[in-house]
Structure 1
Amino acid sequence: MNRKISLKNILLSNIVPIAFFILTLGAVIVAKIPILFLLSEIVRRISRNTFLVLALIIPVVAGLGLNFAIVLGAMAAQASLFFVVDWGITGIKGILLAMLMASVLSIGLGWLVGRTLNRAKGREMITSMILGFFANGVYQLIFLFFIGSLIPYSKKAFLLPQGVGLRNTVDLYGVVDGALNNIWIVSIKFINVYMIPLFIIVGLCLLITFLLKTKLGQDFKAVGQDMHVAQTAGINVDKTRITAIIISTVLAAIGQIIYLQDIGTINTYNSHEQIGLFSIAALLVGGASTRKANIWNAIIGVILFHTLFIVAPSAGNRLFGQPQIGEFFREFVAYAVIAFALAMHGWKTRKGIH
């Protein structure tokens, strides 16, 4: 009897990754994509996207929920890359300079977000989402109207015809395109494994593991479990929450640079918009919730979520004769996963399932 109850609890606790695994497996079977191509794409997306998903873990541990405001870190990363391109600083030097600039900018943005979320305790997720929309408006204003007018920009080829505002696409080719990827590539049966981004991801996993064992990490956990008890224990709750958001924003900025050097181009006004949505969806697919997340949730989520992303167009084409349906399906799945995961979290909380 206890074994049945235990099995039931395990299944219910992992209902989101189990359901998504079945969905992804079905899509892979329907799509009939060559296995080597599928593995190659999965490996590349692991090195490209995992860092961004890992950036979400600390705020969840600290009780701030799913941090939609990582888009501010992504905006800081893109702003830094625009100027690296303008100054013509290429290769690994350009990447490191962009990471440094983006990190400094993200510390300020993270501090502002943290201060705001401290005034919206209990409503952090919706507040961080709205902050992302607000910051996007400021970002659009700066790079559509201020660049080339108030802010000098020498690369006229990337400006709009009137000389004010960046074009829709900024090409990183010849500047920082593949700067991290190309340092060390291991080829296994036509599958290119980019070792440096993977080592950076492993390093971040070790850093998060170490951080959560330190005094600061224990403070994160205490604040995440119960703010009142943490305050009574002498922990500065507001400062701890701000620190968690700053760390998350800085990591998101670095993760966006890793992502964009792999892509090779920046979609000036759209590249950052889906980062929060897709990263959160991937984390939830891996079995995380608004109150609990770990490194394995991020890794499993990236593999499952992006496998479905790879095969969805082919599956849509085979099922309906329209590959575009697969594109719409990917967008639908991202929102559906978040809604389903949050609904299941609320249901499990009421039922007392952990």
Structure 2
Amino acid sequence: MEKNVKNRIKLILLNNIVPITFFVLTLGAVIAAKIPPLFLISEVVRRLSRNTFLVLALIIPVVAGLGLNFAIVLGAMAAQAALFFVVDWNITGVKGVLLSMIIASLLSIFLGWLVGLTLNRAKGREMITSMILGFFANGVYQLIFLFFIGSLIPFSKTDMLLPQGVGLRNTVDLYGTVAGALNDILVVNIKFINIFIIPLLFVVGLCLFITFLLKTKLGQDFKAVGQDMHIARTAGIDVDKTRIIAVIYSTVLAAIGQVIYLQDIGTINTYNSHEQIGLFSIAALLVGGASVRKASIWNAIIGVILFHTLFVVAPSAGNRLFGQPQIGEFFREFMAYAVIAFALAMHGWRARKAKH
């Protein structure tokens, strides 16, 4: 009996080694940083409403057996492209945000379809392929917005362009157009903690949508394909089509999530804002206890809380421990890669152990 209890505890610890390790690390950083609790809670709540939608966009591909979809950066690029034109057309407020979401979603359907076709030709190597696709798409994105805007593609707001009149500036300001458009609709203030209700309702709506989707016929197909493609094909499921649909869902949700994220930030770093979206979203999901083969809504929420708590306290912790806040910045970047490497290593170890 005692041996069974020990084995069960050992199994729980092994299965949750990533979130447990990160929780201990985050707790240590919080203690070292000595940040006021209200400020910390305020920052984490804001990041929860800002980032969770993007992390949730990763769940469907994991369920469908495509692993961690680094190609959500294509959805982020579509969102930024949509926002650039909405700002240029001077469509402000909620109308501007909703129009950006619609344009970004339409672009993302096409981009997701292309990504899905590519990943179907790289079965078993989806993650590295989606990462390379992200790099390739970034090159195309920079070509368009650095050389085509203002030359081949007309742009009326010259203050958004580089001095020579071709290419967008490094930073596009959203203040006065769509910045805070969703946040400002309904704000609840509790002891200096601002809770933006509408972005949180978007997150809750997506959680309900994913829960509902996974109970439908399509959701069951996602699960079947994720468990075993050969058996799913034998059961009459169009495996390739199902995988493409999963990627399209992920890309569209990432585009909507990036619009929510950027309206909260208030500025777009034209050539860099999208680059870290895939990395940090995947790291947050893994921190919450997800793996390459299994992910849930709770993994996403717990991961965002833990990962972004560390993001908030790392510079202060670095400053107090080493006298250099920049060390905290380096540590945050290092942790994002380290979490992904650690989670993938643990997944490989568990898979090999189960096989033997």
Q: TM-score range by the shorter chain?
A: over 0.9
For residues 59-138 of structure 1, what are the structure 2 equivalents within 5 Å? 59-138=61-140
Give the deviation of 1:269 after TM superposition: 0.1
SS at structure 2 position matched to 1:210: helix
Gaps of 5+ in 1: none
| 2:175 is the alignment partner of 1:173 | yes
Distance 1:344 1:236 in 2: 31
In the alignment, residue 243 of structure 2 is paired with which amino acid? Answer: R
Per-residue Cα deviation, 1:237-290 (whole angstroms, up to 9, x for no partner): 000000000000000000000000000000000000000000000000000000
| Residue from 140, 146, 149 that aligns with 2:148 | 146
What residue is the counterpart of 1:253 in the other structure? Answer: 255
Determine the structure 2 residue equivalent to 1:327.
329
Could you say which residue in structure 2 is the equivalent of 1:183?
185
Q: List 4+ stretches of structure 1 deviating above 4 A.
A: none
Aligned-partner Cα distance in 1 for 2:55–2:235: 31
Residue 338 of structure 2 is aligned with which of 336, 339, 352? Answer: 336
Task: Establish whether residue 20 from structure 1 lines up as the match of residue 41 from structure 2.
Answer: no
How far the C-alpha of 1:350 sits from its partner, in A, is 1.6
Query: How far apart in 1 are the matches of 2:352 and 2:85?
Result: 50
- Once the two structures are TM-superposed, the CA of residue 133 in structure 1 deviates from its matched residue by 0.1
Residue 45 of structure 2: aligned partner: 43
Partner of 2:244: 242
Q: Does 2:227 match 1:225?
A: yes
1:352 to partner: Cα distance? 2.2
CA distance in 2, matches of 1:52, 1:294: 14
CA distance in 1, matches of 2:229, 2:249: 19
- Give the structure 2 partner of residue 315 of structure 1: 317
| 1:207-257 Cα distance to aligned partner (Å, 9 max, x none) | 000000000000000000000000000000000000000000000000000
Shift of 1:346: 0.7
Q: In 2, Cα distance between the equivalents of 1:12 and 1:67?
A: 24
Asked whether 1:4 is paired with 2:6, we answer yes
2:59 alignment partner in structure 1: 57
Q: Unaligned stretches of 5+ in structure 2?
A: none
- 1:159 equivalent to 2:169? Answer no
Aligned match of 1:270: 272
Pair 1:200 & 2:202 matched: yes
Equivalent residue of 2:195, what SS?
strand
Give, in whole Å, the separation in 2 of the partners of 1:349 and 1:130: 25
Structure 2 counterpart of 1:352: 354
Larger mean Cα displacement after TM superposition, 341-350 or 119-128: 341-350
Identity of aligned pairs, percent? 84
What is the root-mean-square deviation of aligned Cα atoms in Å? 0.6
Helix, strand or coil at the partner of 1:181 = coil
Query: 2:71 corresponds to which letter in structure 1?
Result: A
Between Structure 1 and Structure 2, how many residues are aligned? 353
**Partner SS, residue 66 of structure 1:** coil
In 2: Cα distance, 1:167 partner to 1:189 partner: 39
Query: 1 CA distance for matches of 2:88 and 2:275?
Result: 23
TM-score (norm 1): 0.99
Distance 1:4 1:22 in 2: 21
State the alpha-carbon separation in 1 of the partners of residues 109 and 89 from structure 2. Answer: 23
Following superposition, the deviation at residue 3 of structure 1 comes to 1.3
Alpha-carbon offset, residue 53 of structure 1: 0.1
